[in-house]
Amino acid sequence: MYRWDPKAHQSIRHSFICVLKDRFRGIMSDMRKSSKNKALKARERIPDDGYNFEIQCKYPPNGVPRRKWERMCMSWNTKDWEKKSKVGRENRKNDLCRHTGGSKGFDKHRRNLEKIKGKKVGFAEVLLHTHATKECKKRLNDGEINANDYNKLQFVTDRSKRSYVSYMKKLENKYGNTDCDDMEVWESLHPECQGRQLFGVGSSDPHFVLTGTTSSTASVSDTRQLDELQKVQAELEKEREARQNIEARFEQFEQEREQERVEREREREQERVERERERSEHARWQKYMEAKFNKFGKK
């Protein structure tokens, strides 16, 4: 069980809610897939490219109560939800959202790259790290190709390659080189993302992912979450140090008590030995006196 300072509860709860919001859709998707797999194993008829919630409501995922799962299936079993789901599936088929970054935010990938390389990296390098194929990244690391070998670079989607090449060429035309970042240039390449998550950025702070500096207007960005977590970690570190100090003082107190106990035992042992010596001497003296009286009586 995790424990923390009650004063840090609000910050921890805020960070937890932000992470949950970011991962909620993925969690729900995993639950629907788990239910679908259970139904298929039971030889139920479920469409390959969708769901049948009238059937799947009988197969809740592990850890989900049956009644709650039924209510969730009812909320999904609507034309409006099916329409949104279909649009999402079509978008994924059109390679709008594919990347190799996993569940980490793009801002975290940028931080990790800078930590590994020990210097600031550009957005183009982050884009290659999160959208190039595994084989392509290996060739880049081995020095077989470089970031400007556009024809040799391989990406997981055509869109990501088009975006990368267009971005690099625009930077070169505007600045004469590609060793820089420009948020406006990247945004101009994706006008369809206006008002939505920017391609190559996701739910992270766009200003940080693209330029390496945090946005002053990002109210619920990962940067703020990091600041909150750092504050919590600082509070927990203080609590840990205080606990260690208390434990050290308690250990010292126990050692002093043990020393006092040993000292008392030693003193008692000395007293016992002294009493034994006195009794022994008294017994010898008494025996000696008895012998003298007996000898005097005989005379």
Mean pLDDT of the chain: 81
117: left (phi over 0), alpha (psi -120 to 50) or beta: alpha
CA distance 151 to 161: 10
β partners of residue 132? 155
245's tokens: 């100090």
pLDDT of 58 = 93
Domain range list for the chain: 6-93, 106-218, 219-299
Amino acid (1-letter code) at residue 208: F
pLDDT of 32 = 92
pLDDT of 189 = 85
CA distance 181 to 198: 15
Residue bearing tokens 């750092």 = 230
Residue pLDDT, tens place only, 30-45: 899 999 999 999 999 9
CB 179 within 8 A of CB 122: yes
Of 156, 103, 151, 149, whose CA–CA distance to 127 is shortest?
A: 156
CA distance 128 to 109: 11
211's tokens: 């330029």
β partners of residue 155? 132
Report, as ranges of residue numbers, the positions in the chain whose pLDDT lies below 70. 1-4, 15, 18-19, 22, 90-97, 103, 193-196, 214-230, 297-299
Residue pLDDT, tens place only, 182-225: 888 888 888 776 656 778 787 777 777 888 776 554 444 445 55
67's tokens: 């009644």
pLDDT of 221 = 45
pLDDT of 73 = 93
CB atoms inside a 10 Å sphere around CB 85: 15
CA distance 17 to 22: 9
**SS3 assignment, position 81:** helix
CA distance 33 to 61: 9
pLDDT of 196 = 61
pLDDT of 77 = 92
CB atoms inside a 10 Å sphere around CB 67: 9
